[in-house]
Amino acid sequence: MVRRVVCPGSFDPVTNGHLDIIGRTSRLYDEVVVAVLINIEKKSLFTVEERIEMLQEVTKEYGNVRVEKFHGLLVDFAKQQGIPTIVKGLRAVSDFDYELQMAQLNYRMSGVETLFMSTNPEYSFLSSSRLKEIARYGGDVSGLVPDLVLRLLVERLRG
Ligand code: PNS
């Protein structure tokens, strides 16, 4: 039996914090499906296709990561893909309330389990939105995102 897990998110763009969770998860499971949320209500910097391409490029070294997009409920996507487990990174206690509620609702709706992985402390302050804000105003975000993402981020923000 193939042990599959899903790592969901917006990934606008993928950060080294995300990659740390995806990479560590890839050592625990046979296959990791990174699921990019299609959210038409939220304005994003990168299109879903751009985010998928970046994720494919930066996760290819793991060898067992597949990148997909989804819309609607995450648990419907997980069921449809035959995935029983969601893995989420927890950066701090402040993430916990929100994540716990979502995990409980997801379990209640579908029986799909959520496992939490503690973020590497090196990235516990990191979020895609903070990162974009810093980069937008010319701050240095090198070391917080993969080099490819850094290049695309600077290109996009400088228009
Ligand atoms: O990177 P993000 O934006 O924090 O990721 C949030 C995500 C995509 C994991 C979450 O918003 C999600 O699962 N959305 C899909 C809609 C859904 O299933 N909602 C019900 C949650 S109880």
Render pLDDT for 37-81 as a digit per residue (tens, 0 to 9).
999 999 999 999 999 999 999 999 999 999 999 999 999 999 999
90 is in an annotated binding site: yes
Distance (Å, whole) CA 45 – CA 1: 38
What are the pocket residues of ligand 1 if the criterion is a CB atom closer than 6 Å to any ligand atom? Answer: 8-10, 37, 73-74, 102, 105-106
Q: How far is CA 22 from CA 16, 64, 98, 156, in A?
A: 10, 10, 20, 25
Contact assessment for residue 117 and residue 105, using Cβ atoms and an 8 Å cutoff: no
What was the pLDDT predicted at 158?
79
- Give 35 Cα–ligand 1 centroid separation in angstroms: 10
151 CB-near residues (< 8 Å, 6+ apart): none
The amino acid that residue 115 corresponds to is: L
Substitution candidate for ligand 1 out of 71, 73, 126 with most atoms within 8 A of CB: 73
> Mean of the pLDDT values across residues 85-89?
98
